[in-house]
Structure 1
């Protein structure tokens, strides 16, 4: 699955592993290693505070701090994310710029496609357990060659952390990361077979860690909760890029820049200097 093409970026694929923090580097992850070979990556990126999924995935998809996107508030109140929010998601920005664009979100944690991503006509949304998501993604890729933006969230790693404890001393937690790695590998294979791998910007990241204050939880400002893995690979990505100071929010800026859209001037997100040449 090594990428060698000098093609332009046609789409952005964001693959998120919930709750993996920086422990992706402590587990066996051969598929992630292969997919990101030759790309740029860091195990020192920072997530949003508080380090919970609503706030963190919200910042990744909206490019602003939690107090501005308020995804967690909509989730807590069982509300859909408003279409007229001053902090629109990547998907909303793409739809407004290109009304016929093809986009999708496949998640295990359903609140992402209600309280974080707007109700967008024509957008494919799917919520299902991790083991059901991969075949559904494959079927979608085979029938949507014009895809421009895909977001995937796998949840079993976070569930393992809550159940067995977060960190490199939790065998079951590390095993869950390795299972997620295999699922990432299956998605990579589907992208390859669909002819989409070598002209996509592929981003692999996580939303938060865990075990910083409570072995079985997260949400604090402790480094073990706040520090995350982030990597990308694709046409024009420089492996020498300086990713120090990278924030989870910057994912949104990188995605928009990669598909040729203007980054909102009021965003907290930015594109790391030298990442995309």
Structure 2
């Protein structure tokens, strides 16, 4: 029996409220036409990216899997460290289970996967948080080193550090290259352009709508690659949002 692939694409900060506009865009429309649609899903509490993605990867609530915030409790630091590394997760992840079952795995900017022994082709989400660090050092340490160096060599011209929307352009190019040349059995891609844009400009801003359009284009590039590689029919594609956002008028420190 042919092994089914599972490819997960996480659209950070994409929620039910985005579906009306997204469904007018060509690639979202293609996906919706051939997919089961689940709406009204509640994210975990607090509704932050790292807890949500770890719950997606484990099927557990944060009090069970152990990732209870994006960042560690480090009040003495100006910039607290994030939960970047897989070792902090207390329950098995889908990546670990799949690896034991003989699946090859790739994750791209999927939170809390740093230094994972289960993932074959990993570009971990991490940034330098010490004066003596730089992006290449921390990424190389947390990711699959040879793979990370190869992808950076091929596509570093697309990046502008970790700024968006260039970072998602880079990750999409890496995803396409990985699909073509590695054909992993499982893939988990985390796209952050929309979340970053909403934090900067507001939830219902024109810029956020533009980010959804860019997201549609990137989805289209991935779909085209799957089709060209004759992988569409034996790949289960799960496209999801991890949380939504609301604008705030007051912040209490």
TM-score by length of 1: 0.65
Partner of residue 198, structure 1? 233
Asked which structure has the greater RCO (Cα within 8 Å, sep 6+), the reply is: 1
Match of 1:126 among 104, 123, 132: 123
Structure 2, unpaired ranges of 5+: 73-80, 125-161
Once the two structures are TM-superposed, the CA of residue 133 in structure 1 deviates from its matched residue by: 1.0
The structure-2 alpha-carbon separation of the partners of 1:51 and 1:34, relative to structure 1 and needing over 3 Å to count, comes to same
Number of residue-to-residue matches in the alignment: 199
Structure 1, unpaired ranges of 5+: 1-6, 218-277
- SS of the residue aligned with 1:203? strand
The separation in 2 between residues aligned to 1:215 and 1:195, in whole angstroms, is 49
Q: How does 1:80-229 map to 2 (within 5 A)?
A: 80-82=85-87, 86-98=90-102, 101-107=103-109, 111-114=111-114, 119-120=116-117, 123-127=120-124, 129-145=167-183, 147-167=184-204, 170-211=205-246, 214=248
Q: Which of the two has higher C-alpha Rg?
A: 2
The separation in 1 between residues aligned to 2:39 and 2:70, in whole angstroms, is 30
- SS of the residue aligned with 1:208? coil
- 1:33-77 Cα deviation digits (max 9, x unpaired): 202313210331121111110111111111100111123458525
User: Conserved in 2, the CA contact under 8 Å of 1:48 and 1:55?
Assistant: yes
User: Which has a greater percent of strand?
Assistant: 1
Give 4+ residue runs of structure 1 displaced > 3 Å after superposition. Answer: 72-75
